[in-house]
Amino acid sequence: MIVPEIRLDSARIERIVSQILRDDARLSPLKANELAALICIRLSTSMPMPTNPYLSGYRIIRSRPPFDGTFTKAVGAKLADVNDAVAWELWDLVYERGHDLPPAVADLPSWQRS
């Protein structure tokens, strides 16, 4: 059975738990807030941590275009009078403006991993 994942911020969970403790367990607001904070701490420490390190600093593309000439041919099909030097300059533009991978790329749920 797959259980859906619930995502709430800890402050909201703390308020909900505190309200339940005040209403159902008839605790004082001070005691309910203390217990709610402890419950939230235990919940957050029991959350699984990612086993793979984040991929920040890595890029999806290489710093140089493919050597088989496919990039040059593809650019040549779009622009007239393109040679390898122009293709390399264009590839440098692509690479320089590329962004690092976000940290969550490696943080896939276990059911999505192949």
Residue type, 76: G
60 in a structural domain = no
User: Closest Cα partner for 69 from 52, 93, 88, 55?
Assistant: 88
Q: What residues make up the domain containing 85?
A: 70-103
5 in a structural domain = no
64 in a structural domain = no
Structural domain count, the chain: 2
Better-predicted residue by pLDDT, 105 or 93? 93
The pLDDT value given to residue 60: 72
How many CB atoms are closer than 10 A to CB 91? 19
38 in a structural domain = yes
2 in a structural domain = no
The pLDDT value given to residue 6: 73
C-beta of residue 5 within 8 angstroms of C-beta of residue 108? no
111 in a structural domain = no
Residues 31-90 pLDDT 10s: 999 999 999 888 888 777 666 666 666 667 777 777 777 877 777 777 766 677 877 888
88 in a structural domain = yes
21 in a structural domain = yes
| Contact partners, residue 72, CB within 8 Å, separation at least 6 | 65, 82, 83, 84, 87
